[in-house]
Amino acid sequence: MLNYVHEIPTKLYFGKGQISHLDEILRSLGKKVLLTYGGGSIKKMGLYDTVIDILKKGGFEVTELSGIEPNPRIESVEEGVRLCKENNIDVILAVGGGSTIDCSKAIAAGVFYDGDLWDMVASYHGTLKALPLVDILTLSATGSEYDGGGVITNLKTHEKIGNSYTYPYASICDPTYTFSVSKYQTASGTADIMSHIFEGYFSRTEDSDLSDHIAEGVLKTAIKYLPVALKEPDNYTARANLMAISSVACSGIPQYGKQDTGWPCHAMEHELSAFYDITHGIGLAILTPRWMRFILEKDPSCTWRFVRFAKNVWGLDGDDEKALAIAGIEKLEEFFAQSGIPKNLTELKITDEHFEEMAAHANDGNYLKDAFVALTNEDIVEIYKACL
């Protein structure tokens, strides 16, 4: 078990009705609020009106940035920074999914960044000085409500880059706000949560039991409740469990004491989104089982991990280790297919045209040499091809 240092400064307000704390949280941070949101889902579900009502009653001065895109663009970050500077904003209130929260984190840091904002996104810096950020989460997926990271896209240069900006000061996580999430985004979000676990679970560290048990618990929760949420979108227990695992999965806690793996499926997926603007979790669900099959073939010494996955997550058993490992991967494929996730990249109209360029970028500077099983550029191209 490796050493670790961990701090999450975000205060989570989890559960029905927690928006009652919004006024007091914002009041402690300032008067001038930049309200950020996406393409309008918060208006359809009535949350926009609720928020505006609280802000008006509280006497807050509100500036709005709407239309933040899924896979948020650098242009939205630039616009947000301009609005913050022009209106002397004290605090950002992000209402939405990971894209709105990520974009708002980059805006919060961008206000203090001296230089080109794409340079801020593209160069590693650690968390930065930033405006305080409060969010109201509406989609269980990324864990952005409980981490410092944000992912920003530059479609002109086909780059999608994750970096750390700032942690939310507070996150309001009311599962009822996710009742309106479509089946497609619910399945995609759950695949993202599961991938955040896989990226750390599949590591060479054998003796970090707590992390492994937490990881398996998150996966089993996802497997139990995604089908329920798909069938009954307003099932509170299902939505609440999915929201709780969203925050835990990307928090770093399920990776306590474990080797850093470089998050290979995320590295590969960000290239798919950068080139084809696809939904993050869908790309991950297509890539993950192919990556699993590939590494199992490339390096059979990793079979033990897949055996554990098959036994502890899917409840499978058997004496033939290779067969058991493959059976676990097949169960995962079946689960994603039953959740309505597209089966391959061809369904998303993606061809092999850019695979080499994407692989080189995903593996920039041999980035994935420390992955659970090291990946070369050629390996990545093969994994992409298996996804067609």
Interface residues with ligand NZQ (CB under 6 A)? 38-42, 45, 70-71, 96-100, 102, 138-139, 141-144, 147, 149-151, 162, 177-178, 180-181, 185, 189, 192, 250, 266, 280-281
The helix/strand count (H/E) of the chain reads as 15, 8
Contact status, residue 195 vs residue 215, Cβ threshold 8 Å? no
Nearer to ligand NZQ, 270 or 290 (CB): 270
- Of 162-170, 185-193, 303-311, 371-379: span binding Zn ion (CB under 5 A): 185-193
Q: Which amino acid is at 28?
A: S
Q: Which residues contact 70 (CB under 8 A, 6 or more apart)?
A: 38, 97, 99, 279
- 174's enclosing H/E stretch is none
Of 250, 174, 187, nearest to 222 by C-alpha is 187
Contact yes or no for 178/189 (Cβ under 8 A): no
178 binds, among ligand NZQ, Zn ion, none (CB under 5 to 8 A by kind): ligand NZQ
**Choosing among ligand NZQ, Zn ion, none, which partner's interface includes residue 110 (Cβ < 5 to 8 Å by kind)?**
none
Residue number with CB closer to Zn ion (34 or 99): 99
Task: Select 96 or 264, whichever has its Cβ closest to ligand NZQ.
Answer: 96
DSSP output for 28-76: TT-SEEEEEE-SSHHHHTTHHHHHHHHHHHTT-EEEEE--PPSS-BHHH
Q: In sequence order, which residues have a C-beta less than 8 Å from that of residue 143 and are 6 or more positions away? A: 98, 193, 196, 246, 247, 248, 249, 250, 251
Question: Which residue in 191, 189, 192 sits closest to 180, CA to CA?
Answer: 189
| Closer residue to Zn ion in complex, CB, 160/258 | 160
The nearest distance, CB 141 to ligand NZQ, in angstroms, is 4
Q: Name the minimum Å distance from CB 138 to Zn ion.
A: 17
Q: In angstroms, rounded to a whole number, what is the distance separating the alpha carbons of residues 62 and 89?
A: 9
- Residue 147's binding partner among ligand NZQ, Zn ion, none (Cβ under 5 to 8 angstroms by kind) is ligand NZQ
Closest to ligand NZQ by CB, 274 vs 324, is 274
Length of the chain: 388
Alpha helices (H) in 174-302, listed in sequence order: 183-201, 209-231, 236-249, 264-276, 280-298
Residue 344 sits at φ, ψ, to 5 deg, of: -155, 175
Find the part of the chain contacting Zn ion (CB under 5 A) among 69-77, 126-134, 191-199, 325-333: 191-199
Give min distance, CB of 78 to ligand NZQ, in A.
Answer: 17
Q: Can residue 192 be called a binding residue for Zn ion (CB under 5 A)?
A: yes
- Nearer of residues 152 and 296 to ligand NZQ, judged by Cβ: 152
93 binds, among Zn ion, ligand NZQ, none (CB under 5 to 8 A by kind): none
CB of 206: closest distance to Zn ion in angstroms?
25
Q: Of 55 and 268, which CB lies nearer to Zn ion in the complex structure?
A: 268
Q: How far is CA 52 from CA 22, 33, 46, 99, in A?
A: 11, 11, 10, 21
Q: Which CB sits closer to Zn ion, 192 or 379?
A: 192
Residue pointed to by tokens 């058991």:
324
Angle at 261 between CA 360 and CA 198, to 5 degrees: 105
- Least distance in Å: CB of 250 to ligand NZQ? 5
Binding positions for Zn ion, rule: CB under 5 A: 192
